[in-house]
Amino acid sequence: MANAGMRRSTVGEAGVLQGPRPERSAIVPVMDIEELSQSFVDRAADLWRDVGLTRPWNDPLDDLERALGGPASTVLAGTEDGRLAATAMVGHDGHRGWVYYLAVAEDVRGRGLGRLMMAACEDWLADRGIPKLNIMIRGDNASARGFYERLDYALDDVVVLSKRLRPG
């Protein structure tokens, strides 16, 4: 199994595209995926803001710090020629894994980078013996749902309840 810390990933030729999926570039991407370094932390927060994943009540830098410092979580960074192209926060509770903040910079979408980031997250979890990966998608993010379904993620009969334990 590939180690995300030393991963270099490529994507082959495009298949036949159908429906509203973005058109795939003919360029074969090469992306290094490894744990986000401190020097990229601010850029990761900027990327999340740029792609609309942040909310006013959530400080992305706090989320980054917690995930990078936690024993069962990390943030993976996909870089191309030294530029931060993609991120994903991954972690687990001992049985179920989760992924948040999957983000691909807008100008490099449709080239398979999101798929590669998810493969790296799945490898990271499988390396730790985690059997299942849950994804939570905001109800208004129909586009992300289409992406995950394309990657064989299926709808579970689950309702998510939440309670804020501290303001902001």
Q: Which residue lies nearer to ligand COA by CB, 53 or 130? A: 53
126 near ligand COA, rule: CB under 6 A = no
Amino acid at position 88, single letter: A
Beta bridge partners of residue 78, listed in sequence order: 33, 86
Best CA proximity match to 36, nearest among 115, 159, 114, 121: 121
Q: How far is the CB of 6 from ligand COA (least distance, A)?
A: 21
Q: Which residue lies nearer to ligand COA by CB, 92 or 147? A: 147
Q: Which residue lies nearer to ligand COA by CB, 25 or 68? A: 25
In the structure encoding, which two tokens stand for residue 167, read together?
């303001």
- What span, in angstroms and rounded, lies between the C-alpha atoms of 144 and 69? 27
Residues 6+ apart with CB under 8 A from 102: 86, 87, 88, 89, 114, 117, 118, 121, 144
x-or-dash pattern for ligand COA, window 13-52, by CB under 6 A?
--x-----xx-x--------------------------x-
Q: Which residue lies nearer to ligand COA by CB, 102 or 130? A: 102
- What span, in angstroms and rounded, lies between the C-alpha atoms of 143 and 146? 5
Restricted to residues 137-166, the positions that interact with ligand COA (CB under 6 A) are 137, 141, 143-144, 146-147, 150
Residues that bind ligand COA (CB under 6 A): 15, 21-22, 24, 51, 53, 102-104, 109-115, 137, 141, 143-144, 146-147, 150
